[in-house]
Amino acid sequence: MPQNKIADALRQALLEEMESNQDLICIGEDIGVLGGPYGVTRGLMDKFGEDRVLDAPISENAIVGAAVGAAMSGLRVMAEIQFNDFLTCAMDQICNQAAKIPFMMGGQVSVPIVIRAPIGATGRAAQHSQSLEAWFMHTPGLKVVMPSTPYDAKGLLKTALRDDNPVMFFEHKLLYGGTSSGGKALSAVDGLGDDFTPAPDEDYEVPFGKAAIRREGKDVTIVGTSMMVHRAMTAARQLAEEGIDVEVIDLRTLVPMDDDAIIQSVAKTGRLVIASEDVSMCGVGAEIAAMIAEKAVYYLDAPIKRVSVPNTPVPFAPVCESQVIPNEERIIEAVKAIV
């Protein structure tokens, strides 16, 4: 049965990979008995046992470190960190160990781990609302993945679980397709329609480093990640009614990044808006803007616009949160400013 929700698509990928690879184990907080706060690992402990699906202590550094050590000695590990904000507690093991050990050992070992973590603002204030993907783009040795559809979630997770490098896998809370156990992260997927491609039953991979063109257009390019792809699509539909033809690119992976897809699109449109949910300073948009400035500045007919979180922690008050998190209106505003 095709999976219409990202949480279910991810679970199907895990289920299939764990069935076909006995060396794959899962470690995380509340992933066993509970099945994960968003249900991604529901049923896996019953099926594969407590030796392969481990409910961990609240010890993010040791969760990632144990994943690194298990991977160096021959296993593959999916490590779930409950909120991407908690990755801060595991930064040594992610950035100093996982990312660098294969390098410092001159390639003697590999660290095939996938660290999954939810991102995005959902009314939980500044320690549960961040999107920290840019930090990990800044650490050589890590791959960074951000699916926006169930189809990609399954295919990208399969690719990640088969990759021999550490992969940071960021999932937007509003895209899982259900409410969290706390009830805070209401689903945003019902309104996404056909953009939210279901995951089919078959075994398939979505390759890293290949962006998807979600909508073709000739006037302006919007590059988006994760939830922002869908907001860009909504913006594009509204702009079409005003005669502005928008091309929407879903990056799917930030490391490796499909520079060529962005450059080709900008060569066609001459205009670029980057929509991401991280903080603008040294963020995803900054990197893409710099890349275009270096490689394709002469294609531009207007300044590049970034739509991202201003340099602020995400505020709690809903009226303030919606002020800082990029939405359709801000994307439309950015497009209109350069068309």
Partner 1 sequence: MKSKGTQIELYRMLQLLRKAEEKLYYLFSTREMPGTMHQYIGQEAVAAGVCAALRDTDYITSTHRGHGHLIAKGADLNGFMAEMFAKATGSCKGMGGSMHIADASVGILGANGIVGGGIPIAVGAALTCKKRGEKNIAVSFFGDGATNEGAFHESLNMASVWNLPALFVCENNVYGFSTHYRRVTNIENIADRAAAYGMEGIVADGMDVLDIYKKTNEAVKKIREGGGPVLIECKTYRYMGHARFEKPVYRTRDEVEEWKKRDCINRLKAHMLKGKKYTEEDLAKIDEQVMAEIEAAVTFAENSPDPEPDSYKDYIFKGGIQ
Q: Name the residue nearer to partner 1 (CB basis): 90 or 273.
A: 90
CB 231, min distance to partner 1, A? 28
CB 63, min distance to partner 1, A? 8
Q: What is the Cα–Cα distance from 332 to 87, expressed in whole angstroms? A: 33
β 113-119/167-172 pair status: parallel
Q: Name the residue nearer to partner 1 (CB basis): 73 or 298.
A: 73
Q: What is the Cα–Cα distance from 182 to 162, expressed in whole angstroms? A: 32
CB 65, min distance to partner 1, A? 2
Q: What is the Cα–Cα distance from 70 to 113, expressed in whole angstroms? A: 9
CB 57, min distance to partner 1, A? 6
**Closest-CA residue to 136 (of 152, 115, 151, 153):** 115
| Burial class for 83, CB neighbours closer than 10 Å (0-12, 13-18, 19+) | buried
Q: Name the residue nearer to partner 1 (CB basis): 81 or 334.
A: 81
Residues annotated as catalytic are 128
Q: What is the Cα–Cα distance from 282 to 139, expressed in whole angstroms? A: 13
CB 50, min distance to partner 1, A? 9
Q: Name the residue nearer to partner 1 (CB basis): 96 or 311.
A: 96
In DSSP terms, 77 is beta-bridged to 25, 113
> CA-CA distances (angstroms) from residue 153 to 62, 78, 131, 141?
26, 14, 17, 22
Q: Name the residue nearer to partner 1 (CB basis): 110 or 234.
A: 110
CB 113, min distance to partner 1, A? 9
Q: What is the Cα–Cα distance from 168 to 163, expressed in whole angstroms? A: 12
CB 173, CB 119: distance < 8 Å: yes
Query: Which token pair is 242?
Result: 């005003």
In DSSP terms, 144 is beta-bridged to 168, 255
Q: Name the residue nearer to partner 1 (CB basis): 50 or 242.
A: 50
The answer to whether the Cα torsion of 36, 37, 39, 42 is positive or negative is positive
Q: What is the Cα–Cα distance from 64 to 168, expressed in whole angstroms? A: 11
CB 203, min distance to partner 1, A? 20
CA-only gyration radius of the chain, Å: 19
Residues within the interface to partner 1 (CB under 8 A): 25, 51, 54, 56-57, 59, 61-62, 64-75, 77, 92-93, 96-97, 101-110, 140-141, 143, 164-165, 207-209, 255-256
In sequence order, which residues have a C-beta less than 8 Å from that of residue 14 and are 6 or more positions away?
26, 40, 41, 44, 78, 157, 161
